[in-house]
Amino acid sequence: MRPNLYPLAFLLLGAAPLAQAQTSPSIDRTDLPVIGDTLRLSQAAPALPASAPPLTRRGANQTWNYAALTPTAQRVERYANINTTATTLQFAFGPFGGVNRATLVSPQTLPALGAGLPITDPVEFYNLSNADFRSVGFGATVTGFGLPVTYQSQALQDVIYRFPLSYNSPADSSNSFFETPAVIASTGYLSQRRKRVNRPDAWGTLTTPFGTFQTVRVVTRIEDHDSLAVGGTSGQGLTLPVRREYKWLAKTIHVPVLTITTNVVNGQEVITNVEYRDIYRRIQLPTAAAAGKIAAPLTAWPTAAEAGTAVQLQLPATAEVEVTDLTGRLLGRFEQPKGASALPLNAAWQGTLLLRVRQADGATAVGKVVRY
């Protein structure tokens, strides 16, 4: 009697889609931004909901449920043709730009580029190819002139992703370096050395308020060292806290579906930013009365101490505390409980530090400490 192979063939053919569905997405250039993209991103509080899974959840076929995230603000990320920029920038990053040729440009709020420098309209130029997605430089308007800032060489450009990118991709790293041109050195100078390491560590199903997606998660470790001088003053070098970005990437979304950013403070990871792809939402802002309300005077000590010494706080209510330097650069954001508590400070945070305290009712207070 001849065996009936139809049931076996049906099972094999039917199993193929299931097996395919249970593999990591593979991210390529078609899944990154394109000219004309206008992408809305929501920011949530840096303290994750109690129901949110831990960042340590990794491996194959995971399930992450961040549906309880609540937006506190929104921003729009736009990508355009480089011919929308100043003529000098088009020349630097256009067809004659050589290794600096860009395929698209995006307006940016760049504290690193703008801190203390007399510039407006900062933008970042990117090159998207089959091999990778990288930053090839920056541009800004300085006294009405479009000024390009390029990396020292093609080998020292900031490679954000290499393709294809999936759970099975090996870890990769890049080192980048740029500095402002000598033409404005007497007015302001900035350089940045960066080491970026990307490590895919998980894939699976991610749910946010925007929807549910099959994703691959990439953990990016960023080490920055900045040097800044303004108005002819001597340069100040600063090694920033190690930053980690946990990014969930999905097909056709063009930006990470979810990004959770942390700073490493005293050996511990502290969440500083939570951002996810979203639709337009009405954000419930504090009332005018609450927004203008001043919190009780901030009690913080010691006001002056060695770098790395924690700040002791006495807060009348649970509050969010932001630590910035005098240029406005955000160093860390913390949820501090009511009463007495210690606010950890990284040993790399030196000089005058500003503490901005924001209570749930919108009341605010500002204080400062010095770490030398």
| pLDDT (tens digit per residue) in 291-337 | 455 566 778 888 888 888 889 998 888 888 888 876 567 788 888 88
pLDDT per position as a tens digit, 200-241: 999 999 999 999 999 999 999 999 998 876 665 555 677 888
Given CA atoms 156, 159, 164, 170 in this order, what sign does their dihedral have?
positive
**pTM across the whole model:** 0.74
Q: Are 266 and 332 in contact (CB under 8 A)?
A: no
Residue 258 is inside which H or E element, if any? strand 258-265
Please tell me the distance from the alpha carbon of residue 170 to that of residue 317, in angstroms, as a whole number.
46
pLDDT of residue 74: 92
Confidence of residue 182 (pLDDT cuts 50, 70, 90): confident
pLDDT of residue 354: 82
Q: Is 188 exposed, middle or buried, given 0-12, 13-18 or 19+ CB atoms closer than 10 A?
A: buried
How many CB atoms are located within 10 Å of the residue 167 CB?
22
pLDDT per position as a tens digit, 100-137: 999 999 998 754 444 455 678 889 999 999 999 999 99
Going by C-beta distance under 8 Å and a sequence separation of 6 or more, which residues neighbour residue 54? none
Q: What DSSP letter does each residue of 85-115 carry, written as one string? A: S-HHHHHHHSTT-GGG--SEEEE---HHHHT
User: Is the per-residue pLDDT at 267 higher than 60?
Assistant: yes
Domain-wise residue ranges, the chain: 26-277, 299-371
Residues 44-68 have a mean pLDDT of 90
As a whole-number percent, the residues of the chain with pLDDT over 70 amount to 83
- Identify which of 13-17, 124-128, 187-191, 317-321 has the greatest average pLDDT: 124-128
Tokens representing 278 are 């979203």
pLDDT of residue 227: 81
Going by C-beta distance under 8 Å and a sequence separation of 6 or more, which residues neighbour residue 290? 361, 362, 363
CATH pick for 299-371 out of 3.30.1280.10, 3.40.47.10, 2.60.40.3110, 1.10.287.3510: 2.60.40.3110
pLDDT per position as a tens digit, 21-33: 468 999 999 999 9
pLDDT per position as a tens digit, 135-167: 999 998 877 788 899 999 999 999 999 999 999
Q: Are 87 and 96 in contact (CB under 8 A)?
A: no
Classify strands 268-277 and 38-44 as parallel, antiparallel or unpaired. antiparallel
Tokens representing 140 are 């800004």
User: Is the per-residue pLDDT at 186 higher than 90?
Assistant: no
